[in-house]
Amino acid sequence: MNNINEKSSYHHGDLRETLLIVATEMLQENGINEVSLRKLASRVGVSRTAPYHHFKDKNALLCGMAEKGFEQLHQINKCGYEDEELSIREHFYRFIHDYIQFAHNNPDLYELMFGRTIWKDKSSTQELRDSAYPCFQFQVAMTQEWQKKGLFNVDDNALRVSQVLWGTVHGIAKLFIDGIYTDNSKIEEICDYAVSMFLAKSKEN
Amino acid sequence: MNNINEKSSYHHGDLRETLLIVATEMLQENGINEVSLRKLASRVGVSRTAPYHHFKDKNALLCGMAEKGFEQLHQINKCGYEDEELSIREHFYRFIHDYIQFAHNNPDLYELMFGRTIWKDKSSTQELRDSAYPCFQFQVAMTQEWQKKGLFNVDDNALRVSQVLWGTVHGIAKLFIDGIYTDNSKIEEICDYAVSMFLAKSKEN
DNA sequence: TATCTTAACTTGACGGTGTCAACTTTGGTT
DNA sequence: AACCAAAGTTGACACCGTCAAGTTAAGATA
């Protein structure tokens, strides 16, 4: 039954997963405006309302897509963090760089993940929150580690410090991917500036 | 003819301006999803397609709304900058604070102004760019002034420095208004942290 | 004053969208 | 063998943005 080539034709087999994948493809190809349930269904080869057996409504589908985005981002953060060969300062640079690179590589997905559509009011699903909050908390944990290692003042509130740091990468990423920076700025150069502006006081690292 | 109370009924008199105002009201009341040309027209008391004589399409209307937003933000920046009674450090704090406060007071407008909808590809109108770029450039100019006054290294590229600063406020603002910060953090405290993290090395100001 | 031009506004129509209700098919359980 | 619940279907509805063709009225021209 899990044989993909077998034409069971009526029951799809793994429609929920397929919908998420194809919808994300459509998002990356043509932006959020071109993601419609009807086009998605037709592209997957299924009727208009079939998706409703797997997602309560369109918002739930979008939340599902964002959910996977947060898992990716969390994974990227983890990989950078667990690299033993880097100095603290390099760790910090890598966090900033990888984060902005992720946004740059997946602009529409990133916009979806952090946009108002999904988060305002109470429209975010529980699953989305369960996926996103650990990702946020990991960034707080990294900040605490950086504080311990001397990159930032240990006495400062780690949550606040990480909010400022995260704000910075988030802001740069968004301005970057939305094409608001007028020149075709190099990611690496901006990251260098961000790092040096935060760490100018602790050159010993 | 400009008499508002006079029921000329067929010709509105100042429809373009009224549309922008009412659309922005609708945006602030119920978010971008509730802003439709048809509801807007009906609320203004005009037929469905009347707006098309003043805006090429919906995107042009949205650009018009964002345009006004950038004029407001530019004005706020100017006001803070021209306040003679503040020290440099206070100027810097005020810039950050006022910016985030603006976003906090007008969350949906802010999302519109900086969102992908309007900026991606070539969908931004010339008028929007004419309104937004001076606002951006003013921030670069402020940064140069801060560099001269010793807040930041004069040798650094002003554009890059301002991109990082602007990224920070933009990112904090967005995370704030989208309700992604889990606790209802005080704006002032976050601004304090942002200022001190950038200026820790130059305490003399 | 009479006529003409044209911008502002209207109605009708089309294809696309999210979503609901009612129906059919199917795989697995009793 | 009978049944049930999950998965998928078709039809319908109320919206939406936008185009084409027609109407109204304000202001310039003569």
Q: Which residues of A touch B62 (CB under 8 A)?
A: none
Q: 3-class secondary structure for chain A?
A: CCCCCCCCCCCCCCHHHHHHHHHHHHHHHHCHHHCCHHHHHHHHCCCCCHHHHCCCCHHHHHHHHHHHHHHHHHHHHHHHHHCCCCCHHHHHHHHHHHHHHHHHHCHHHHHHHHCHHHHCCCCCCHHHHHHHHHHHHHHHHHHHHHHHCCCCCCCCCHHHHHHHHHHHHHHHHHHHHCCCCCCCCCHHHHHHHHHHHHHCCCCCC
Closest chain B residue to the Cα of A160, Cα to Cα: B190
> Is the pLDDT reported for residue B187 higher than 80?
yes
* Token pair recorded at residue B16: 């373009």
Question: How many C-beta atoms surround the C-beta of residue A2 within 10 A?
Answer: 7
In this structure, are residues A194 and B168 in contact, taking their beta carbons and an 8 Å threshold? no
* Token pair recorded at residue A103: 């946004």
- Which of A117, A165, A193, A201 is most worth mutating to test chain B (most B CB atoms within 10 A of its CB)? A193
What integer is the mean pLDDT of B151-175? Answer: 89
What integer is the mean pLDDT of B151-155? Answer: 94
Q: Do A163 and B185 touch (CB under 8 A)?
A: yes
Q: Which residues of B touch A157 (CB under 8 A)?
A: 193
B45 closest-nt by C1' vs CA: C9
Question: How many C-beta atoms surround the C-beta of residue B117 within 10 A?
Answer: 21
B185 CB and strand C closer than 7 A: no
> Is the pLDDT reported for residue A3 higher than 50?
no
The whole-number Å distance from A24's CA to C26's C1' is 29
In this structure, are residues B103 and B177 in contact, taking their beta carbons and an 8 Å threshold? yes
B15 closest-nt by C1' vs CA: C8
Closest amino acid to nucleotide D20 (CA–C1'):
B49
Q: Which residues of B touch A199 (CB under 8 A)?
A: none
Confidence of residue A170 (pLDDT cuts 50, 70, 90): confident
Element (H, E) at B63: helix B58-82
Q: Do A194 and B161 touch (CB under 8 A)?
A: no
pLDDT at B158: 92
pLDDT at B3: 35
Domains within chain A, CATH numbers bracketed: 7-54 (1.10.10.60), 67-199 (1.10.357.10)
Q: Do A119 and B179 touch (CB under 8 A)?
A: yes
pLDDT in tens, A22-81: 999 999 999 999 999 999 999 999 999 999 999 999 999 999 999 999 999 999 999 998
A36 CB and strand C closer than 7 A: yes
> Is the pLDDT reported for residue A105 higher than 60?
yes
A122 CB and strand C closer than 7 A: no
Residue A115, CA distances (Å) to A168, B116, B156 in order: 16, 10, 32
pLDDT at B4: 36
Question: How many C-beta atoms surround the C-beta of residue A130 within 10 A?
Answer: 11
> Is the pLDDT reported for residue A158 higher than 80?
yes
Question: How many C-beta atoms surround the C-beta of residue B95 within 10 A?
Answer: 23
Mean pLDDT, rounded, of chain A:
88
Q: Which residues of A touch B119 (CB under 8 A)?
A: 178-180
Mean pLDDT, rounded, of chain B:
88
Contacts of B141 (CB under 8 A, 6+ apart): none
Running DSSP on this structure, what letter comes out for residue B50?
G
Please tell me which of the candidates B32, B136, B171 has its beta carbon nearest to residue A167: B171
The whole-number Å distance from B11's CA to C6's C1' is 14
Q: Which residue in B73, B78, B162 sits closest to B112, CA to CA?
A: B73
Q: Do A178 and B111 touch (CB under 8 A)?
A: no
The Cα–Cα gap between A125 and B78 comes to: 41
Contacts of A76 (CB under 8 A, 6+ apart): A98, A99, A102
In chain A, % of residues over pLDDT 70: 88
More confident residue, A109 or A3: A109
Residue A154 backbone dihedrals phi, psi, to 5 degrees = -65, -30
> Is the pLDDT reported for residue A178 higher than 80?
no
- Write the burial class of residue A58 (CB in 10 Å: 0-12 exposed, 13-18 middle, 19+ buried): middle
Confidence of residue A205 (pLDDT cuts 50, 70, 90): very low
The Cα–Cα gap between B92 and B199 comes to: 10
Question: How many C-beta atoms surround the C-beta of residue A55 within 10 A?
Answer: 19
Q: Do A114 and B180 touch (CB under 8 A)?
A: yes
The Cα–Cα gap between A104 and A41 comes to: 28
pLDDT in tens, B188-205: 888 999 999 998 655 444
Confidence of residue B127 (pLDDT cuts 50, 70, 90): very high
**B128: closest CA of chain A, how far (Å):** 12
What integer is the mean pLDDT of A69-96? Answer: 94
Q: Name residue B175's amino acid.
A: L
Q: Do B197 and A164 touch (CB under 8 A)?
A: yes
B38 CB and strand D closer than 7 A: yes
Confidence of residue A120 (pLDDT cuts 50, 70, 90): confident
Q: Strand C positions with any atom < 7 Å from protein CB? A: 7-13, 16-22, 25-28
> Is the pLDDT reported for residue A203 higher than 50?
no
pLDDT at B203: 41
Running DSSP on this structure, what letter comes out for residue B33?
G
Confidence of residue A180 (pLDDT cuts 50, 70, 90): low
Contacts of A82 (CB under 8 A, 6+ apart): none
Running DSSP on this structure, what letter comes out for residue B177?
H
pLDDT at A72: 97
**B91: closest CA of chain A, how far (Å):** 18
Running DSSP on this structure, what letter comes out for residue B32?
G
The Cα–Cα gap between B167 and A172 comes to: 4
Q: Which residues of A touch B173 (CB under 8 A)?
A: 167, 171
Confidence of residue B112 (pLDDT cuts 50, 70, 90): very high
* Token pair recorded at residue A184: 């075709």
pLDDT at A186: 80
The Cα–Cα gap between B129 and B122 comes to: 11
Q: Which residues of A touch B190 (CB under 8 A)?
A: 160, 163-164
In chain B, % of residues over pLDDT 70: 88
- Long-range (24+ apart) CB contacts under 8 A made by A3-8 are none
Confidence of residue B14 (pLDDT cuts 50, 70, 90): confident
- Which of A96, A104, A170 is most worth mutating to test chain B (most B CB atoms within 10 A of its CB)? A170
